[in-house]
Amino acid sequence: MSIQIAKSAGFCFGVSRAVDAVEEAAGQGKTVVTLGPIIHNRHVVDKFDGMGVRVIEKPEEALPGMTVIIRSHGVSRDVYQRLEQQGVEIIDATCPFVKRIHGIVEKADLAGELPIIMGTRSHPEVEGIAGWCGHCKIFETPEELEEWAKSGEISPETPICMVSQTTSTEISWKKSVQIAKKQFTNAKIFDTICKATESRQKEAAELSASSEAMVVVGDAKSSNTGRLAMICRERCQNVVLVDNASELKPERFKGVAKVGITAGASTPAWIIKEVNKTMSEIINADAVQEESFEALLEQSIKTLNTGDKVMGIVTGIGNTEIQVDLGTKHAGYIPYDEVSADPSVKPEDILHVGDEIEVFVVRVNDQEGTVQLSKKKLDGMKIWDDMAAYAEEKATVEGTITEENKGGLVATVKGIRVFIPASQSGVAKGGDMAAMLGQTVQLKVTEVNRARRRVIGSIRAVNSEARKASQEKLWAEIEEGKKYHGTVKSLTSYGAFVDIGGVDGMVHVSELSWNRIKTPAEVVSVGDEIDVYVISFDAEKRKISLGYKTAEMNPWNQFMTAYNVGDVVTAKVVKLMTFGAFAEIMPGVDGLIHISQIADRRIGKPEDVLAEGQEVQVKITDVDAENKRISLSIRALLEPAKEEEEAEVEAEAEVEEAAEVAEVAEEAAE
């Protein structure tokens, strides 16, 4: 003879969370009341009653100063608002899965859709869901939904939003979904059956199908316990629903070789344990079940303690937590906010069903059979070990700048906040540190205080190290004439200092431009990136002389490339002399317009015709490349025009003369 207990029997996450909330509040000496029985189990309610926790039925029964705990079933929006008006502390223990349904129907109602809820009308959870929308329809069976559609009670064109009570059966839900898709043209369907409920019902179905008798443990008033009994009866003829071990009758199990035990979500572990013990005595099967529930429970109590590091396997991913199988009877779960220290990380992206993970035990509740776990804490412990190692080894790590304050910057390194003092930020004094926000940087961890959870880092140390390495490389490879791409770091009256890779070289003002300049600022600015070349260097004194101007920049070379004798150009008069005028052809290149070439007539002085700053059309008449002299002429452009005018006059005279000759010939002919 054997006894087999369903692994998923007992408290679900939502119920466990609500019970924990009551215990914690009562333990703090608060005046605690629950709005309705915290769960559908009189034994748990009686236990809390002994701790001074009362049950109230209406918000108005709560007095100012009290702590009111909303059970996992949740409440309507109206009830919540009435509670707020009572001046009480509210602890909302509504199951996160139920809370999600509230949001779905509320949003649907605002969008003009009709919320349709599958569930028991009188159930507190269903009443609460209905209270988050102005108008809704509730059906208890797929047949009822189908009748609505056929009778026209709901038009096929009506936009509907269908949800389910979390403890509904999967079979009824699937039938209802098929009907909704077939009967309504505009239906939004949300599968809101709790996965823990789904798993419990599936396991109960499989266990009852292979057992000669089934014991369903739980309060008869509990909806999910009633559904478990119904599922078991569909597959097993001998099903017993008991509230506790005292209700077990030996005569019901005569001749039975295999018994299955399951329990509703509102059944505490200690009641399941008692049922198992009593059943073992009834059929004398204490030693038959190798891994009985009691043995598993005792094992879990011995092996799981707060602060332990344990291995587990991910078995489910819910909307608010990750379920983990620890190989014990305890139901392990990781709240979403305990998965990762990075708020941008989605749990479902880093954890998958079947993954084996190491976790940290945050809290063990042996009575309820649950264990709160944390991946974030364990990762954090490992990271702190890493931080200490980084500091000791003076290693360079990568981080992202997330914050700026008066003292400096804050970077995130593997989820740990690292403070970087302003002096270690690598930003010059008075510089804009805010410009670094969001940047990924290299830094060194210089101090770690695990007790105070403080880490200090330095970007400057990395920059200094990189600069030193760059300097050594540069001095090892430098040579005259070598070109570098550098950054202007500072300006003086006599030149510009340029960083060419961790080393500053100086470009003298005379090497900045082919033109005459008064200050380096006329050519370059701090921060400019420019190409320079080495004129000379002294490795011993660590001095480098750089050049910026090149032959290609030489204005004379540019002129010789671009212009030829005979070209007509626009030039600007820059200086007037007694013998002529100098005109700028291009920056750095002037030509002379001799006084004889300024006009097509004799003039006394150049200013009679020209003025400084005036732009004129000139012709290049001669280029002395050796002495870099250019001769220009305005007159050369005027004389051809005069010759053309005289030619036109002569042509007109010839035409007139020919006409006169023809006229004389005509007269003679007459």
* Active site members: 125
Question: Is-contact 558 515, C-beta < 8 A?
Answer: no
Q: How far is it, in rounded angstroms, from Cα 175 to Cα 139?
A: 13
Cβ–Cβ under 8 Å, residues 162 and 190? yes
* Helix residue spans in 234-371 (DSSP H): 269-283, 293-303, 347-350
Residue 135, token pair as written in the block:
């108008």
DSSP code per residue over 349-408? HH--TT-EEEEEEEEEETTTTEEEEEHHHHHHHHHHHHHHHHHHHT-EEEEEEEEEETTE
Q: How many CB atoms lie within 10 A of CB 232?
A: 26
State the DSSP H helix or E strand holding residue 549, giving kind and residue range, or none if neither: none
Q: What contacts 24+ positions apart, CB below 8 Å, involve 41-46?
A: 41/218, 41/219, 41/222, 41/266, 41/267, 41/268, 41/271, 42/219, 42/243, 43/243, 43/244, 43/268, 43/271, 44/19, 44/266, 44/268
* Residues 156, 183: Cα–Cα separation, whole Å: 6
Q: How far apart are CA 643 and CA 637, in angstroms?
A: 11
Q: Which of 85, 82, 91 is nearest to 57 (CA)?
A: 82
Q: How many helices (H) and strands (E) does the chain have?
A: 16, 32
Judged by DSSP in three states, 656 sits in: helix
Q: Exposed (0-12), middle (13-18) or buried (19+): which is 162, by Cβ within 10 Å?
A: buried
Contact criterion met (CB below 8 Å) for 133 and 105: yes
User: Tokens representing 169?
Assistant: 């059966």
Q: From its phi and psi, is residue 327 left (phi > 0), alpha (psi between -120 and 50) or beta?
A: left
Structure tokens, 557: 């070379």
What contacts 661, CB < 8 A, 6 or more positions away?
none
At 366, list the tokens: 């042996």
Residue 110 CA to chain centroid, in angstroms? Answer: 29
For residue 297, report the phi and psi dihedrals to the nearest 5 degrees. -65, -45
Token pair recorded at residue 106: 């509320």
Please give the full DSSP string across 590-643, using - where no structure is assigned.
EEEEEGGGS-SS--S-GGGT--TT-EEEEEEEEEETTTTEEEEESHHHHHHHHH
User: Burial code of 69-87, b = ≥16 C-beta within 10 A, e = fewer?
Assistant: bbbbbbbbeebbeebeebe
